[in-house]
Amino acid sequence: MKKSVKRIIGLAVPAAVAVGLNRLYVKKRYGEKNAKPTFKFSEIAEGETEGVKLTAHRGLSAVAPENTAAAFKEAVKHPYYAVECDIYCTADNRWVVIHDYMLQSMAKEKGDVKKMSYAETLSKIKYNNGANIKYYPDAGICTLEEYIDICSPAGIKPMIEVKDKRVEKVKELYSIFCEKGIEKDVILISFHEPVLREFRRLDENMELWYLMQAITDEKLLDCIEQGYGVAFEAKRAARTPEMVQKIHDNSLTAACWTVDTPELLNKMLEMGVKYITTNAILPE
């Protein structure tokens, strides 16, 4: 086998595994049962809770299929601080809301949404996976504009993870925020620091959070220099409280995902984390 072919296979296999795992994650977590959020914040939170803000992860994804209009509509029925979503840009330059760029994590169809047309193909696809999917037969791909139009009238902050790595798409995306009048309200989050840096170049006041599974001194330096908040994986951060303390010591925003148990919630509260993203906790 030629080296180039081996390299392609080497890149493709991890991506396919990741998509498959997310599909299994969604199905295992929610399945076909009538899923619902498990806890109320006021009933399980211990210690200091003043100023704590909860975000609905991919909408209210324990009630309706994740990242769909239905999940966002369910989320805004509750007093969440923000509703989070994930976005990619399609071949016809529409920003769509979906966690994986490969369709098969949520639908029977296959393909890379970045290489497909929303108007011709993606707008017609219906999902067959996600919480209570049998009750949402029309659930499919939501556009960024639809998501904003659900969150904004409810007075809930849009928290948007830009998963698309293409920096050249940032200016166009920022224009959508300005057209919708949310550039001062949106919390823009990403694992891709060049994307964040381009947003910072366009708007020095925009709220930007750098996503990181493991908090490192190098990434913290980027956050200090560029004025990013720090959003980290809660389970991993619970094992390294000294790194979370460094975030506080540098007066940076400390935010975490995904907190779905009373134990992890209270660990984050104990560590002084005020911004918490959850699948399973209602803000009441």
Mean pLDDT by 10 residues, the chain (284 residues): 51 60 58 74 96 98 97 98 98 98 96 98 97 95 98 97 98 98 98 98 98 96 98 97 98 98 98 97 96
Q: What is the pLDDT of residue 34?
A: 57
Strands 187-190, 142-143: parallel, antiparallel or unpaired by DSSP? unpaired
Cα-Cα end-to-end distance for the chain: 58
Q: What is the pLDDT of residue 36?
A: 84
Instruction: Give 278's strand partners.
Output: 56
Q: What is the pLDDT of residue 23?
A: 63
Q: Give residue 274's domain range.
A: 3-282
The secondary structure of 128-168 as a DSSP string is --STTGGG-TT-BPEEHHHHHHHHGGGT-EEEEEE----GG
Q: Among candidates 258, 23, 18, which has minimal Cα distance to 133?
A: 23
Q: Among candidates 38, 35, 92, which has minimal Cα distance to 66?
A: 35
Q: What is the pLDDT of residue 28?
A: 53
265, 47 contact by CB (below 8 A): no
Domain count, the chain: 1
Q: What is the pLDDT of residue 32?
A: 47
Q: What is the pLDDT of residue 47?
A: 86
62, 36 contact by CB (below 8 A): yes
Element (H, E) at 24: helix 3-30
Tell me how far apart the alpha carbons of residues 120 and 111 are, in angstroms, rounded to a whole number. Answer: 14
Q: What is the pLDDT of residue 11?
A: 56
Q: Among candidates 281, 268, 274, which has minimal Cα distance to 41?
A: 281
CATH number of the domain residue 203 falls in = 3.20.20.190
Q: What is the pLDDT of residue 151?
A: 97
